[in-house]
Each structure stands twice: as structure tokens, then as C-alpha cells.
Structure 1
Amino acid sequence: MSGRVVVVTGAGRGLGRAHALAFAARGARVVVNDIGTGLDGSGRSTGPAADVVAEIEAAGGQAVANGDDVADWAGARNLVDTAVREFGGLDVLVNNAGFLRDRMLVNLSEQEWDDVVRVHLKGHFAPLRHAAAYWRAEHKAGRPRAARVINTSSGAGLLGSVGQGNYSAAKAGIAGLTVVAAAELARYGVTVNAIAPAARTRMTEATFAETMSAPGAGFDAMAPENVSPLVVWLGGEESAGVTGRVFEVDGGRVSLARGWRHGPVRDKGARWEPEELGPVVAELLAEAPDPEPVYGT
């Protein structure tokens, strides 16, 4: 990663902090983005991002803090501009920022839906859009970069999660955005992948309150630092042949998720009548694997 310029959103704590430190430890120059809000969304502080920058600099690395709201169009553009202005370019974008507003659907408010979709889904799209414009311009100017995007989906986005309809929908949208961006940006030498991590952070500390045991003395399977090595590898030049993929990662486990695929089919060659379809659907279901269970069921 020596010399590469990396932006990590939501990098003041948790997974983002672990990613920023891991990239810096490998020689990357890092833009540490975080708006420093509380779990309830209140307040803003430069403290968390500044603290991570201080950690990186104390270890001999290079980093700058950025407090822009990644779901704000101008803020996302300024985040990309910060990397270019401070370090002369941008090579890796790690979209990580997010928060939770968990409710069962019958209790979920419009504001709680809008807030989660905005921060997660628009907060991925806006930085990606401005980074992609920069990389396209660089490519057209004869300065192509081995650029990488690592998005953050979730098991909730891949399989669903009871009580997290807003979060599951946003994270599923991120997985869909990832495969489209990978197809569209390949012409510029940009790869786009996503991770679905499980780790103990402010968002998940209630879920992962107890340290999970795993092989190896003293190994904390839910430490956020376990996720970062894959993110760093995906951000390097060696990962050039990998794009449009979603990896699940937690503890010492890495797996490749398989998304929606074409399955069994029946083709009548004409329009079906409703009364004909019961047996057809039964045959299709019998030939297809059962779906993975939704988390929480």
C-alpha cells in the first residue's frame, strides 16, 4: 500500500478506525472521515477523526481528518477533493459510515426509514459518484489509477434481519450498487467490491456483548481488526482481477457470498393462466434450494 491514497468513511471508531490504521500501517496515506455524532445522531465532533489521525502520525504514518457528511452531495465531493488536495490523488475509497435505527416494521417511522437509507445508501453513492468522476477524468487524461472501492454491506442486507427492515433494505441496496458500479467502472480500471462484516462496534455492542471464542489463545473473534486485512487486500493492486463480489468476513472466517441467480424455469411459450401456475410454482420450489433463514427467525 506504500504511496497509495485511501479515504475511509466513518473512520473515527469501530470498523472504520481499524481499516484506517491497517491501511496506514502498510504505508498508505489516509483521509480519516467521521462527523463524530452520538449513537442517537446528535452532535458533531472532530475528536474521533482527529484521534485516529494522531494514532497514525504517532506510528510514523500520514493522515488527515475530514468531518464532511458523506450523505451530503457537496460534502462527499469535498471529501474526495480533500484526498486530491492533501495527497495528490485518490486510489482507494472505503465506504463504511453508518448507524442503526432498529424497529419492527409496524413501529418503524418514516424518519427512521429515511435516516438509515440516507446515511447508508446515499452515504455510499455520493462519495462513490465523486470518486468515479475523478477516476474517469484521470483515465481520460492518460493517468489511469489502479483504483479500488470497498463498500460495506451486511448479512442483514444479504439475508434480511428481523427488526431491521430499513437497515436490511439499505444494505441490500449497497450490494446491488456494488455490482452495477463494478460493471460501469471496469473500463477505467476501477474495481468495486463489498464486504458483509460481523464485528463488535458501537452499533453492534449489544448484539456481540460477549467475546466469541475461536481457535487460538486470546483470539477475539469479534474484534473489528479481524475484518481489516481483507479490506486492505481488496484495496491493493494485487486484487485487480476481483470485482463485483461480496465477501462475508468475521473472526478468522472469509467467505464469498452468492447473490440472486437465475434458477429453475418453465416456459409455456405463451401467456399463463392464473389457475395453471400453482403446479408450476410447486415444481420450481421443489427444484430450487431452500432460502437461507432471515436473521432473527
Structure 2
Amino acid sequence: MFTFDQLAGFIAVAEELHFGRAAERLNMTQPPLSRQIQKLEKIVGAELLERDNRKVELTNAGQTFLEEARRLMALAERAPVTARRIASGRSGVLRIGFTAASGFSILGPLLEELSGIIPDVDVDLQELVTGEQLHGLLTGELDLGLARPPFDKETFDSHLLYRESMVLAVPSRHPLTLLARDISPEDFKEESLIMHSATQARYFYDLVVRTLPFNHANVVHTVSQILTMVSLVAANRGVAFVPHSATLLGIKGVEFLPLAVGDSEQVELHAIWNRRITNPALARLLRDLEFAME
């Protein structure tokens, strides 16, 4: 394998087309430079230069090799800089998991903030439910999650990004829209319900069961995604309990009504990360993000 000294010698000769000037440029004498070029040609297996007592010219193979040699030297010069940038968290890849609901609420503003803090770091986004995100954080497949509680606080560190209320999504012109007040359990006790999946949307399922008394016999559909729930409401298939951020979906044919519940902001979204941080980009992000400094 050739060395970078041999590449530098070849590039100098190729650009100067003169061994003497090339040797002077490299602060060396001509004989060792000539030997470097000869060794390089032997390693490459092709004549790179045509030389006689009067001139030096590149062969066709030499012209092609010159382009590659310059590229290799540029890579070699950039490699230490790139390594330092990655080590300092100024370059690399940050892998972020997010729930579907966070995708239409906080994800956009968060990415905008990230681009200002770590502009040269590539962000890899993966839409995953909370359980899948926690697994990815454990295995190292993810660096940061935007997920719902609960989670093991000994394994994961976190910051509460925001709280929001649950609202009742109903078809437009539904009789409940005429009440002009917060909706109580008595108001929806006879309504067909579109309910969260107890397995795929466990956080919302548990939250609704814990805070909103309803008749399980009224459940007509069970789904895992908020977007699907609101779409079914628009299709007049029933009413649904959804986070307030679902109002941002802009689906026609749906109205969102406030609920009369004890805690008006019971839905939580957290930024979660493994306490054993190995990605320098994440470490830098957590140092600089406003929520990490509070």
C-alpha cells in the first residue's frame, strides 16, 4: 500500500511537471523524491509519469490517478477535523424516536431548535410508540425519545416537555356542540365511543380509564393512532377522547369540546434519554437546550 508521503510527492511532481521544483516545494532533495515516485508506480502497477532529461508529463493513468490522489489527501486532511467535530458533538447523527401525536405537535418546533444548536448533526427520525422507544434507548438504536410515562427513572433521565388536556372529538353539528359548556360523563354516557387500544396506545387507554368514567359496552372501534381516531369521528362513527394537540390536525367535520375533569392538563410528553449517554451530539444538545438547563 502506498503512503501519504508518496501521494504528496506525486501530486507535487504532477502539478510542477518538474522534479527539482517539486522537491524544493516539499523541502527535500530530488533523489529521494524520484525513489518515492518509482515505488508508487510499482505499487500502483502503472507508469504515472513520462520523464526524460527535458520534460515531465503525466500519462493517461497518471492523470486519472492524480484526481484520486487529491481526493485521498483531502479526505486525510479532513479526517482529524471530522473526528474532533464528532467528539465535541458538532457533527454526527442524532437518532430521535417520537410518537405519532408528538409528530403533529412539538416535533417541528423541537427540530427547529435542534438545527440552531447542532446544525451540522444529521437527525434520524423514527415514529415509534413509547414501548418501542424505550427499547431503542436501551439497545442504543435511539439517542432521544419523545414519549409518554411511565418509564424506569433509574435507567432513563427525562424532562417534561409539556402538558395538555384531553378533549372530546365529536362530529360537526353533533348535539353536544350545542351545550356551550364543558362536557361531563353524563353527557356522553350513551354515545358510541372510539377507544384507544389497551396494548398499542396503553398510555392513553390507562389515562381515559382512570379519569373519565365511560361505558365499555359503547366502544365501537379500538385503534392505536390519534389521527385514525379523529378520522373515524369525521366519518360519524362515534366520539373519541384525544389530546388537545389533535386540534392541530385540521381534519374537517370534527369539533373538539372541553371535558369537565379534575386535572385539566393530565396528558404529558417527555424527552427521554438513557442515563449512559454515549453520543457526543446528544450530550452537547442536553447541555445547550433550554429545557436541559432549567
Give the structure with the higher percent strand: 2
Aligning the two structures, in what range does the TM-score lie when normalised by the shorter sequence? under 0.3
**Larger Rg over CA atoms:** 2
Larger RCO (CA within 8 A; separation ≥ 6): 2
TM-score, normalising length from structure 1?
0.27
